């Protein structure tokens, strides 16, 4: 069964993908809706099965099949064929041909416009059904459908008198014309032209996404208002055929391809009139050929808008595209916000401090001495004692200074671009302004990204131009050459490879800073004057426990859960995303690893599995620590709260978020770890509403010299203990 589960997921997702969804409940609603006209639903279903089977036999991406990317266009073609023509063997044969042909169009468009990072949307459906309708005029064996006359008979066969009664009640229901048109437009997406069908689709849309539901209203009634303002005639029946264009456009641009916020909603109001103009103009042109516009206006406007966004040079529009598509406006929004909170300041190339031990920033950015104008983004580092002095004795000799002769290291992997190593060190108090940078090393880390270290001791530089260096490799010794009255190390980032190049503002990653005796871990930051800073010293035993490599296996004996044992395996997918998979539940916890830290970034699967609680607890762990240190972080709302608890939050999430989930990890009041001793990492997880704590959870990792010993988790509902047996 597991071997074919991907195929059946693809079948269900072919229905929900019409609305950019992968929600199974939504699929369970949409499938019966397509069967309001029985043969339309039947031929739609057959089209999906044919398309997904053909895609598999051809050898197309199983991921795309499972997501429904190929099936949903064929579903729409099958529904259209089933609505327009009388059922029979001839029609069944044409459905087979049309389904495979629509698949070919989908794959072709995937290649043609996919290279521009654009989706093919429902263009294959429009082109596929048009071609069939035009050619069918020459098929004498194919009769037009007259079943609409006998709709009630079909409903009676399908659901008895009760279904007929419900259907008639909804159609006779006295509701305002705009509301009626909204429901008819929703039903028309699936070629079902009844209020009941629209109500069911609206209910499914609400279950799937509160944001998508609100956008469907915004898009439709925005178009209704535009029609009213310009004086265009609105026909309830005719309008339903094009009304869904506004609904789909609003969902696509307001919350799916773009992260939903107040600006995306405002852009929907601006774009919807464009869709109306395109729909009206296309209706005039296509009417000559007796072809409906279907979803063509939606496709044209959405593709143009997404293409235009690719040419932006800034984000003044406040329209942000997703990092990873989660198939839900809410999940996209919460993941995006969480990513920005956690990683917005992270840099593409993380830089370490270029030395061992703790040094003091004696001149920072925009410094009072030499860090001015184009050279303002730089640091000067020296070593100070507890009294703040930089030297011993009287400080008359370079050897008296604590930083003199100390090792200078590479801040990141790179290639040595330039070296100056023959300038004499100055007598204390004197400067060499003619060779003001002194002995210098420039390293290239990527195109237009260089670092420069200056004022080395004469003859101490160990590298040559063209040498490759790794982060932390010894480069030379701190000296007193150039414009340096006292020994110190100058460090800057620049975009060009020259010794006198202008500076570039760039942060330092993963270091400790000490202010007024308090030591704090900084993931990404700009060291400031008088701060004592040092790199994280990796605790190798701790890193061995939480540094996950593909193929690694962890097994647990579990108490407190229905799951009595668990086996975790570390894997990597085709996109090089690393994750831990629970063999028992199939759940996955995705993570990113840096040299000094691990972050879990996403979870999918069973929230009652041990892996979910492990994900919550190991959410952020530093491999190096100071005694009593704490780490803090935040969770995506949708991964910490039950879906039912964020129903109302979802409606206003693009504008305001009153729910929050916070993480805190507490390190022990001791440094290091002896092989025979245990290290306890305790932490708390809090849920907050309007800033008030509503729920609290605790966890603990026990680590010894052999690795992870056990893992505990506790909240109001569970008391979990997981003993690591491998």
Structural domain contains residue 349: no
Query: Is residue 617 domain-resident?
Result: yes
**3-class SS shares of the chain: helix, strand, coil, % to 5:** 40, 25, 35
Residues 172, 308 within the same domain = yes
Q: Helix 177-188 and helix 210-230: axis angle, to 10°?
A: 120
Please check whether residues 498 and 628 belong to one and the same domain.
Answer: no
State pTM to two decimals. 0.88
Residue 343 placed within a domain = no
Q: Do 623 and 547 form a contact (C-beta atoms < 8 A)?
A: yes
The average pLDDT across 707-720 equals: 90
For residue 471, the enclosing domain spans 359-506
Are residue 81 and residue 169 in the same domain, yes or no?
A: yes
Asked whether residue 517 is domain-assigned, the answer is: no
- Please say whether the beta carbons of 671 and 679 come within 8 A: no
Together in a domain, 582 and 656: yes
pLDDT of residue 541: 81
- Examine the domain organization and report whether 297 and 429 are in the same domain: no
551 contacts: CB under 8 Å, gap ≥ 6: 569, 570
Are residues 455 and 581 part of one domain?
A: no
Domains contained in the chain, number: 3
Domain boundary residue, one of 506, 530, 559: 506
Same domain, yes or no, for 15 and 123? yes
Query: Does residue 494 share a domain with residue 578?
Result: no
By CB atoms closer than 10 A (0-12, 13-18, 19+), residue 491 is buried
Span 137-163, pLDDT tens digits: 888 777 677 655 455 566 555 556 676
- What pLDDT, on the 0 to 100 scale, is given for residue 171? 67
Asked if residue 215 is part of any domain, the answer here is yes
Q: Are residues 43 and 132 in the same domain?
A: yes
The residue among 323, 329, 310 whose CA lies nearest residue 252 is 329
pLDDT tens-digit map of 100-134: 999 999 999 999 999 999 999 999 999 999 998 88
Residue 453 domain-assigned (yes or no):
yes
Q: Is residue 53 included in any domain, yes or no?
A: yes
- Tell me, what's the pLDDT at 238? 47
What span, in angstroms and rounded, lies between the C-alpha atoms of 573 and 577? 5
> pLDDT digit string (tens) for 282-320?
988 988 888 889 999 999 999 999 999 999 988 878 899
Q: What is the CATH number of the domain that holds 315?
A: 1.10.3430.10
Residue 387 lies in a domain: yes
pLDDT in tens, 384-410: 998 889 999 888 899 999 999 999 999
Mean pLDDT across the chain: 89
- Considering 464, 485, 506, which residue would you say is the last residue of a domain? 506
Are 255 and 371 contained in the same domain? Answer: no
CB 553 within 8 A of CB 578: no
470 shares its domain with 551 = no
Q: Are residues 571 and 716 in the same domain?
A: yes
Contacts of residue 335, Cβ cutoff 8 Å, sequence gap at least 6: 322, 323, 324, 326, 602, 636, 638
């Amino acid at each position: 069964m597991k071997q074919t589960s991907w195929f059946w997921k693809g079948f269900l997702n072919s229905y929900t993908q019409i609305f950019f969804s992968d929600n199974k409940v939504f699929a369970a609603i949409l499938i019966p809706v397509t069967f309001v006209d029985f043969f339309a639903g039947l031929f739609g279903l057959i089209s999906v099965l044919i398309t997904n089977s053909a895609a598999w036999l051809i050898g197309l991406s199983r991921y795309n099949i499972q997501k429904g990317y190929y099936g949903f266009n064929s579903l729409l073609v099958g529904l259209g064929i089933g609505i327009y023509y009388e059922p029979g063997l001839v029609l069944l044969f044409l459905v087979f041909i049309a389904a495979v042909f629509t698949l070919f169009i989908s794959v072709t468009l995937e290649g043609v416009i996919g290279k521009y990072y654009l989706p093919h949307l429902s263009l294959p459906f429009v082109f596929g059904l048009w071609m069939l309708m035009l050619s069918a005029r020459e098929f004498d064996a194919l009769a037009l459908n007259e079943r609409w006359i006998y709709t009630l008979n079909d409903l009676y066969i399908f659901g008895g008198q009760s279904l007929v009664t419900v259907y008639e009640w909804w159609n006779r229901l006295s509701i305002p014309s705009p509301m009626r048109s909204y429901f008819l437009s929703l039903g028309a997406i699936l070629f079902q032209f009844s209020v009941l069908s629209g109500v069911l689709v609206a209910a499914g849309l609400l279950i799937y996404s509160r944001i998508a539901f609100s956008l469907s209203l915004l898009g439709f009634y925005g178009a209704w208002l535009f029609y009213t303002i310009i004086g265009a005639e609105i026909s309830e029946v005719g309008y339903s055929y094009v009304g869904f264009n506004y609904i789909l456009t609003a969902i696509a641009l307001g919350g799916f391809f773009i992260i939903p916020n107040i600006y995306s909603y405002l852009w929907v109001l601006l774009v919807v009139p464009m869709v109306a103009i395109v729909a009206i103009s296309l209706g005039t042109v296509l009417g000559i050929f007796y072809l409906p516009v279907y979803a063509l206006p939606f496709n044209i406007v959405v593709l143009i808008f997404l293409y235009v966004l690719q040419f932006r040079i800034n984000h003044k529009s406040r329209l942000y595209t997703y990092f990873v598509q989660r198939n839900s406006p809410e999940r996209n929004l919460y993941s995006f916000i969480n990513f920005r909170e956690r990683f917005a300041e992270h840099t593409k190339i993380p830089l370490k401090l270029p030395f061992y031990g703790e040094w003091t920033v004696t001149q920072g950015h925009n410094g009072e001495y030499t860090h001015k104008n184009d050279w303002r983004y730089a640091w000067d580092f020296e070593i100070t004692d507890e009294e703040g002095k930089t030297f011993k004795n009287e400080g008359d000799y370079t050897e008296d200074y604590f930083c003199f002769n100390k090792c200078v290291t590479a801040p990141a992997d790179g290639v040595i671009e330039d070296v100056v190593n023959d300038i004499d060190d100055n007598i204390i108090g004197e400067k060499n302004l003619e060779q003001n940078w002194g002995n210098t090393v420039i390293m290239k880390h990527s195109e237009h990204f260089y670092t420069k270290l200056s004022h080395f001791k004469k003859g101490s530089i160990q590298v040559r131009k063209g040498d490759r260096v790794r982060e932390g490799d010894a480069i030379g010794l701190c000296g007193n050459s150039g414009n340096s009255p006292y020994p110190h190390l100058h460090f800057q980032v620049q975009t060009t490879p020259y010794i006198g190049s202008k500076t570039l503002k760039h942060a330092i990653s993963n270091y400790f800073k000490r202010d007024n005796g308090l030591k704090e871990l900084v993931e990404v930051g700009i060291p400031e004057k008088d701060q004592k800073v040092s790199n994280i010293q990796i605790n190798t035993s701790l890193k061995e426990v939480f540094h996950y490599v593909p193929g690694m296996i962890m097994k647990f004996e579990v108490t407190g859960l229905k799951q009595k044992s668990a086996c975790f395996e570390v894997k990597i997918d085709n996109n090089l995303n690393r994750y831990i998979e629970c063999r028992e539940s199939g759940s996955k916890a995705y993570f990113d690893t840096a040299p000094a830290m691990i972050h879990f970034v996403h979870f999918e699967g069973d929230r009652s599995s041990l892996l979910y609680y492990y994900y919550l607890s190991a959410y952020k762990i530093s491999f190096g620590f100071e005694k009593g240190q704490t780490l803090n972080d935040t969770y995506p709302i949708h991964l910490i709260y039950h879906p039912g608890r964020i129903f109302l939050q979802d409606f206003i999430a693009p504008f305001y978020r009153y729910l929050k989930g916070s993480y805190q990890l507490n390190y022990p009041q001791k440094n290091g770890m002896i092989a025979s001793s245990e290290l306890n990492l305790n932490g708390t997880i809090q849920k907050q509403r309007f800033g008030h704590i509503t729920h609290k959870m605790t966890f603990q990792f026990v680590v010894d010299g052999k690795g992870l010993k056990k893992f505990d988790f506790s909240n109001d509902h569970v008391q979990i203990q997981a003993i690591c047996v491998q």
